[in-house]
Structure 1
Amino acid sequence: MRQFAQAVNRLGTESGSSLKYRQASVHQWLSGHLPREAVRPLILEALARKLNRPVTRAEAGFPSDSYLSEKPTSVEQLIDLGRQDMDPSRRKLLAAGVYSAALSVPAFSALTAAASAADQERITRPSGRIGSGEVATVRRMTDKIADILDELGGGHARPMAAAFLVNTVAGYLHADASEKVHRDMLSAASDLTYLTGWMAMYERAHGLGQTYYLRALDLANESGDQLTYSRTLRGMSLQASHLRHGRKALEYADSAAEAAPQASPRLTAFLRGQQAHASAMVGDRQGAISRLREAETALSKADSRRDAVGGYDQAAFLFHVSHVHYEARDIENSVKALRHSLRVMSPQERQGRLHAYAVLAQRQHEMGHLEESCASWERFLDDYEVLSTARGDEHFDRLRALNMLRRSPVTRKLQDRIHAVAELKAA
């Protein structure tokens, strides 16, 4: 019972809540006392992670949501999610949602994507008729939001994405259109939803990010878009790897690869790189090295155009190389790969650069290279000062917790700057 209470408390921390349940609380639950509504999802997830399968409310003895007489359509679920994400009073509650490590996602081939199914879900309303121009608008807006993410951070970009989904894309999805245009719109909406989930993940709202990913999968399936379906699964694998669920990360990565047998060279590299990282996490070093070779070969065949959403380039590949070395505890080569990644990274990728310098600084600190670590933290702070990003906040909290000794002018300078940035962020 003590271990179960600890598991629920850990999940509370993961979702942004501070819980202090003890063995006596679990004893009360087992005796029939219903835990608070807000804690029930945490209990279900703790059980699911222990059993390695989803656990329903009914199985746990919780009241079911019987008032939901009909399952809303995927578009309705997306609109509801986006509307809540737009509301500042609801956003914090959404962000506290629990990430499910026992979620199973079927392969694309196991799902039905027939046109008739999509037509049945579509509701024609007097909102006009759309064509290819509206699809292009959604694609362009998605690219612009991805640019804002790189330049200013997800804290600014995600509310824009949610508002655009609700105020514009929802109307397009409900409008009259030819079958081809409607499918193209579903695909474009899926891309934007995937990007919104990506931003939520990087803002440490992992339960919310996972929910957006699931909505993106629904839309990609309805449109018959295997590539977006695959790319979304790859994003789910990255999320699982960040949360240290290695087996789940590998499951999603393999499912992503299976969903895109005809992928372009760049997407193939994108998928193989994630498979390599996940393989290394579960101790399959040989498999990881093999996947890295496949990623490198595929990337060498890619054209020069890099997608704004879910793009993959030499810098991203080298980041995966660094992860594979680090999982094998080869920190020296991990640092070398990270340095190389930063050298070839686009100057526009401030979000990625911020993350890479923070990871580099932490690994240099592990090696005992204190002054090099301080220099990398300084580069991290250059971007952190101007970006709104919870991932950056996470790294900054870790930096402040290091409590480096004032052994040199370099460490003293960094400590002074940490205090200055903390005051700036608090203002």
Structure 2
Amino acid sequence: MDPSRRSVIGASLFSAALAIPGWQDVVGRTEAVRSGGAQRIGTAEVDSVVAVTDRLSDLDDQFGGRYARPMAAAFLVNVVAPYLKASAPEDVRRAMMSAASFLCYLTGWMAVDEGLHGIAQQYYVKGLELAGASHDHLTYCHIMRGMSVRSVDLRHGPTAVKWADAASEASPAAGPRMAAFMSGQQAHSYADAGERHNALSSIRKTEVSMSRADSQARTFGGYSAATLAYHTAQVRYELGDVAGSVESLQLHFRLREPTNESHRSGMRFTSMLAERQLALGHLDEACATWHEVLDDYPSIQSGQVDKHVREMARLIRPHTRNPTARDLGERARLVAPALFDARRFNPGVPTG
């Protein structure tokens, strides 16, 4: 069941063109949320939505968007939508809309992982609407940052810059970790758009913010030293420093705390590392790194990971007379047979 078919995201405050909505344009406003009906909710219902959202986020991180999004969509339609229409004190209503806003964002994030960008856009827009209705400025900025991440993934650099800048400019007075959360994405977006000076300036700003952050705090966005290393890797890569990007990705994995990081992102970043090792001509290292991805592939249901594994197949195809590359290809064909044409891994079989 998909909420896009129901009223939770069916009535949107914004057009599909997605002009950046200003905070004052959304605060206190919504078209989809109306009180009424026999049901009445309290803080217990709000707490339950927050707790389930946290659990859905964990499932998404561990198993991927194709696994988690159907559950998130069903929960949004069958549980959260009735709560949004229930009677409640004003503070409870706002808290419920805030919780629903973040759930819409999370469900959109899962849709991006599946490659369903149109559906993701609908969730994000509804999340912005609910964030404004609940006066939740932090989630509003978080969602706009997520829209920038989505645009970078689609290689729409100028659009990514637009969203990242809007998120940063609209964010309320923030501590250093949230400032890093915003400026790190700005740096990646600027680099993707080819704005070298702005990219380098933003990554330096991120480094300064992180140096001022409490290293033990897991605050808004969970931005960490490992995340900074990832953003540095992306900036270096987009600006043409492939070797530097590999160095920064390796630092990311040294700093990464497995208990606090997404399994799916680990697989994606490992794939990126392999791709860039190969770009440097390090075939054996790249194959060893790709084997790490294949170790975990059966446990994930992620369109983004599938895309990386298909890219692996494309990149090693010219090297399949090399025993190391051929072994990798043969293993990939066994681990993920649906993704490959087996002939491409056998240099003795004509490919037409």
Long gaps (5+) in structure 1: 1-73, 82-99
Residues 330, 119 of structure 1: CA spacing in aligned structure 2 closer, same or farther, 3 A cutoff?
A: closer
Number of matched pairs: 329
Deviation, 1:120, is 9.5
Q: Which residue of 1 aligns with 2:330?
A: 416
Residues 339, 263 of structure 1: CA spacing in aligned structure 2 closer, same or farther, 3 A cutoff?
A: same
CA RMSD in angstroms comes to: 2.3
Deviation, 1:75, is 12
Contact 1:213 1:232 in 2 (8 A): yes
Percent same amino acid among aligned pairs? 43
**Could you tell me which amino acid in structure 1 is paired with residue 273 of structure 2?**
L
Stretches of 4+ moved more than 4 A in 1? Answer: 117-121
- Distance (whole Å) between structure 1 residues aligned to residue 5 and residue 92 of structure 2: 16
Residues 134, 75 of structure 1: CA spacing in aligned structure 2 closer, same or farther, 3 A cutoff?
A: farther
> Does 2:317 align with 1:406?
no
Candidates 394, 404, 412, aligned match of 2:307: 394
Residues 293, 273 of structure 1: CA spacing in aligned structure 2 closer, same or farther, 3 A cutoff?
A: same
Q: Which residue of 2 aligns with 1:354?
A: 267
Q: Which residue of 2 aligns with 1:224?
A: 135
- Distance (whole Å) between structure 2 residues aligned to residue 224 and residue 132 of structure 1: 17
Candidates 38, 45, 48, aligned match of 1:126: 38
**Could you tell me which amino acid in structure 2 is paired with residue 291 of structure 1?**
S
- For normalisation by structure 1, the TM-score amounts to 0.72
- For normalisation by structure 2, the TM-score amounts to 0.87
**Could you tell me which amino acid in structure 2 is paired with residue 136 of structure 1?**
D
- Distance (whole Å) between structure 2 residues aligned to residue 399 and residue 209 of structure 1: 26
Contact 2:183 2:205 in 1 (8 A): yes
Q: Which residue of 1 aligns with 2:83?
A: 172
Candidates 100, 108, 113, aligned match of 2:23: 108
Range with greater deviation from structure 2 (345-354 or 244-253): 345-354
**Could you tell me which amino acid in structure 2 is paired with residue 104 of structure 1?**
A
Deviation string 1:11-54 (CA, Å, 9 cap, x unpaired) is xxxxxxxxxxxxxxxxxxxxxxxxxxxxxxxxxxxxxxxxxxxx
Contact 1:272 1:292 in 2 (8 A): yes
Candidates 223, 229, 239, aligned match of 1:312: 223
Contact 1:350 1:383 in 2 (8 A): no
Q: Which residue of 1 aligns with 2:206?
A: 295
- Distance (whole Å) between structure 2 residues aligned to residue 200 and residue 310 of structure 1: 19
Candidates 146, 153, 156, aligned match of 1:245: 156
- Distance (whole Å) between structure 2 residues aligned to residue 264 and residue 167 of structure 1: 36
Deviation string 1:32-90 (CA, Å, 9 cap, x unpaired) is xxxxxxxxxxxxxxxxxxxxxxxxxxxxxxxxxxxxxxxxxx99642559xxxxxxxxx
Structure whose alpha-carbon radius of gyration is higher:
1
Deviation, 1:422, is 2.3
Contact 1:79 1:170 in 2 (8 A): no
Deviation, 1:317, is 1.3
> Does 2:37 align with 1:78?
no
Contact 1:345 1:353 in 2 (8 A): no
Q: Which residue of 2 aligns with 1:211?
A: 122
Contact 1:270 1:312 in 2 (8 A): yes
Residues 79, 106 of structure 1: CA spacing in aligned structure 2 closer, same or farther, 3 A cutoff?
A: closer
Deviation string 1:255-314 (CA, Å, 9 cap, x unpaired) is 00111131232221111001111111232222212211221222233342436x843222
Contact 2:7 2:32 in 1 (8 A): no
User: Where do 1:249-328 residues align within 5 Å?
Assistant: 249-303=160-214, 304-306=216-218, 310-328=221-239
Aligned to 2:49, what secondary structure does the other structure show? helix
Candidates 91, 97, 104, aligned match of 1:193: 104
Contact 1:107 1:258 in 2 (8 A): no
Deviation, 1:406, is 3.5
Aligned to 2:41, what secondary structure does the other structure show? coil
- Distance (whole Å) between structure 2 residues aligned to residue 142 and residue 386 of structure 1: 21
Q: Which residue of 2 aligns with 1:71?
A: none
User: Where do 1:15-94 residues align within 5 Å?
Assistant: 77-78=7-8
Contact 1:173 1:182 in 2 (8 A): yes
- Distance (whole Å) between structure 2 residues aligned to residue 75 and residue 215 of structure 1: 13
Long gaps (5+) in structure 2: 341-352
Q: Which residue of 1 aligns with 2:249?
A: 338
**Could you tell me which amino acid in structure 2 is paired with residue 306 of structure 1?**
R
